[in-house]
Amino acid sequence: MDPDLPTHPRIVYARQHNISCFGLERLHPFDSCKYRSAWRLLHGRFGSLLRRCRIRTDRPARTDELTLVHSPDYLRRLREPRFLCRALELPALARIPGPLLDHFVLRPMRWATRGTTLAAAAALQHGLAVNLGGGFHHAKPAAGEGFCIYADVAIAVRSLQQQGTLPDHARIVHIDLDAHQGNGVCHAFRDDRNAFLFDMYNGSIYPLADRLARDRIDCDLPLQPGTGDEEYLDRLTTALPGFLDSVGKSHPVRLAFYNAGTDPLAGDPLGGLDVSADGILERDRFVIRQLRDRGIPTVMVTSGGYTSGSDRLIADSVSHLLQQWGKRA
Ligand SMILES: [Zn+2]
């Protein structure tokens, strides 16, 4: 940890992060173009400052990067429409030929996956970076599920280690506040004792049955449906500082990933946690402040969020980061 690390936030985004597949993507409640909407809102608010903070994703993640985490057999099977559509929970897409699905659905996910790697590299250099996309926390090394195909966070870690940007035994933390438990992250880091996982989620929804994942979490905070702002923020503010202090006690934490899924929002059809928009903003401010106070380079990914207001929630949290630190960009 380096308390003197300067904070110059970077926002990673390219229009290719957005998924558009003949309108069929709307069969899933996830708004696959919310990154574009969030970007436009931010651009309207910050204009040239946002352009100065921007890192434009340069390309999709390559196969040699994906295989740092995923098995070649899994990547090959993604070309089978039935296999892919089960993972996407979109059976209606199974009639679309594999190459078209790859182009319209998987390729944008590979762009967003590359975005997480760029954001991680930028965080190490500038202290704080947001990928408008990514946070595919249900993707496992040999299986995709819950609209998550590529394990972007694990791919980012392994890519930076391979480049030598992040030492092999560097300690990292993953803080997951999406309403769903991040089971894919648990599987991807199952045998990595340098990765420490904090996960607070609705304990009564998918992926309920994944006990192996639950057992891997270092700080496990399942919540009741309908938790609401007061208890949600109380559980978070009570647990997170102690978790960060204990992980960083013997070895510095070199990098933190923050899954800032917006589906705890009240009215979200999948999240069920009944947290207000103000509560989500307060949550994001608290997490980022805790990490910045400890000088831990931080990557925020946007993950789930199934209400039409998800783009605005993301824009509001990123606006806060830019107002707080962006003038020094
Ligand atoms: Zn979720």
Question: Could you report the per-residue pLDDT of 200-214, keeping only the tens digit for each?
Answer: 999 999 998 899 999
Q: At 282, is the secondary structure helix, strand, or coil?
A: helix
With a pLDDT cut of 90, the percent of the chain lying above it is 78
Per the DSSP assignment, residues forming a β-bridge with 199 are 176, 220
Q: How far is the CA of 261 from the centre of ligand 1 (A)?
A: 6
Superfamily for domain range 10-328: Histone deacetylase domain (3.40.800.20)
pLDDT at 20: 73
Residue positions annotated with a catalytic role: 138
Q: How far is the CA of 194 from the centre of ligand 1 (A)?
A: 25
H-type helices in 5-164, by residue range? Answer: 34-46, 48-53, 63-66, 72-77, 81-88, 98-101, 107-126, 152-163
E strand or H helix at 60: none
Give the global pTM: 0.95
Q: Which of 98-112, 191-205, 212-226 comes out lowest in average pLDDT?
A: 98-112
At residue 31 the predicted structure's pLDDT band, cuts being 50, 70 and 90, is low
Q: Is pLDDT at 328 greater than 70 in this prediction?
A: no
Q: What is the DSSP letter of 12?
A: E
What tens digit of pLDDT does each residue of 172-185 get?
999 999 999 999 99
Q: Is pLDDT at 309 greater than 90 in this prediction?
A: no
Question: Other C-beta atoms within 10 Å of 126: how many?
Answer: 20
H-type helices in 140-210, by residue range? Answer: 152-163, 183-188
Q: At 221, is the secondary structure helix, strand, or coil?
A: strand
pLDDT at 95: 85
Angle at 44 between CA 40 and CA 49, to 5 degrees: 100
Q: How far is the CA of 329 from the centre of ligand 1 (A)?
A: 31
At residue 97 the predicted structure's pLDDT band, cuts being 50, 70 and 90, is confident
Q: Is pLDDT at 229 greater than 60 in this prediction?
A: yes
Q: How far is the CA of 221 from the centre of ligand 1 (A)?
A: 15
Calculate the average pLDDT of the chain.
Answer: 92
pLDDT at 224: 97
What tens digit of pLDDT does each residue of 284-303 get?
999 999 999 999 999 999 99
Gap between the Cα atoms of 220 and 197, Å rounded: 8
Strands (E), 132-266: 171-176, 195-202, 219-223, 253-259
Q: How far is the CA of 262 from the centre of ligand 1 (A)?
A: 8
Q: Is pLDDT at 105 greater than 80 in this prediction?
A: yes
Q: What is the mean pLDDT of residues 256-279?
A: 95
Q: Which of 26-30, 47-51, 64-68, 215-219 comes out lowest in average pLDDT?
A: 26-30
Q: Is pLDDT at 318 greater than 50 in this prediction?
A: yes
Q: What is the mean pLDDT of residues 226-242?
A: 98
Q: How far is the CA of 132 from the centre of ligand 1 (A)?
A: 16
Comparing C-alpha atoms, which of 132, 149, 131 is closest to residue 140? 149
With a pLDDT cut of 70, the percent of the chain lying above it is 93
More confident residue, 33 or 223: 223
At residue 29 the predicted structure's pLDDT band, cuts being 50, 70 and 90, is low
pLDDT at 246: 97
At residue 26 the predicted structure's pLDDT band, cuts being 50, 70 and 90, is low
Q: How far is the CA of 224 from the centre of ligand 1 (A)?
A: 15
E strand or H helix at 236: helix 228-247
What tens digit of pLDDT does each residue of 39-73 get?
999 999 999 889 999 999 999 999 999 999 999 99
Q: Is pLDDT at 5 greater than 60 in this prediction?
A: no
Q: How far is the CA of 179 from the centre of ligand 1 (A)?
A: 5
Q: Is pLDDT at 98 greater than 90 in this prediction?
A: no
pLDDT at 1: 47
pLDDT at 327: 64
pLDDT at 240: 98
